[in-house]
Amino acid sequence: MLAVFPGLDTPALLFFAFAVLLLAGFVKGVIGLGLPTISVGLLGLVLAPLEAAALLLIPNLVTNLWQLLIGPDLRGLIRRLWPMLAGIVVGTLLAAAWFPLGGAAWATPLLGLALFVYAGLGLLAIQLAVPARQEGWAGPLVGLSTGAVTILTGVFVLPAVPYLQGLRLQRDDLVQALGLSFQISTLALAAALLWQGDFRMPQAGASLLALLPALGGMLLGQALRSRIGALAFRRAFFGGLLLLGGYLMLKALL
């Protein structure tokens, strides 16, 4: 069923997609993020970024829902973050109206650039500091930018993740806030794909099937979380993304 995507039309490529989804789910289980970033990045080697993002729609919806529901204060986060969340929806839909979904030649190098920048920020441990008085204007701007980046690259970590980290939330609140942001981004992307006719029953069936390895990997990661050194694992995660992003950018130039 995954073969409805042209880049996954052989058994070897299907196995590759299964392994990518398993790995990405495992990383999300360990550190609470990374499923769409790793999946879209690695699948971007054989698929257009938005095709990879379409394959990830249902796994993202399920795993993010799980993440945001188990946190301590969902209502409080919605009240605080709604300007950013509204910006994500508006930015995604506006960008979808202006740019071709996944068909542009620059989509893959832009994906590589996004991964490279995100990984660099993570490795350097650069964190913003967002004063509460600035959230009123910064939140919508971050949301609009995140929505545009989602359409251009298929991933929705920039600038939303650095912004949320800059709010200095408690760990459990931050994990829940990330899940909330990712869920809204996934729903907005799904609306854009449906609007453009790029997510129909065959793609939905493939995305549902992709849930199995992603969820299995996430459960395994959660079970092993306490046995894995979090700092070393995060460095390996960001280091791998840095190399992948660099490769995707170089690939477009060669």
Interval 21-72: pLDDT, tens: 999 999 988 887 889 999 999 998 888 888 899 999 999 999 889 888 888 8
- pLDDT surpasses 70 at 249: yes
- The whole-number pLDDT of residue 103 equals 55
- pLDDT surpasses 80 at 186: yes
- The whole-number pLDDT of residue 61 equals 95
- pLDDT surpasses 90 at 232: no
Mean pLDDT (whole number) for 204-219: 94
95 half-sphere exposure, CB direction, 13 A CA radius: 26
Q: How far is CA 126 from CA 119, 122, 161, 244, in A?
A: 10, 7, 12, 20
- The whole-number pLDDT of residue 129 equals 87
More confident residue, 13 or 6: 13
pLDDT range class, residue 115, cuts 50, 70, 90: very high
- The whole-number pLDDT of residue 166 equals 94
Residues 125-132: contacts with CB under 8 Å, at least 24 apart: 126/162, 127/162, 127/165, 127/166, 128/162, 128/163, 128/165, 128/166, 129/166, 129/168, 130/163, 130/166, 130/167, 130/168
- The whole-number pLDDT of residue 95 equals 94
- The whole-number pLDDT of residue 99 equals 83
pLDDT range class, residue 227, cuts 50, 70, 90: confident
How far from the centroid of its chain's Cα atoms is residue 106's Cα?
19
- The whole-number pLDDT of residue 135 equals 94
Mean pLDDT, the chain, whole residue set: 89
- pLDDT surpasses 90 at 200: no
Burial classification of residue 41, based on how many CB atoms lie within 10 Å of its CB (0-12 exposed, 13-18 middle, 19 or more buried) = buried
- The whole-number pLDDT of residue 5 equals 65
Least confident range from 36-45, 90-99, 204-213, 244-253: namely 244-253
Mean pLDDT (whole number) for 97-121: 84
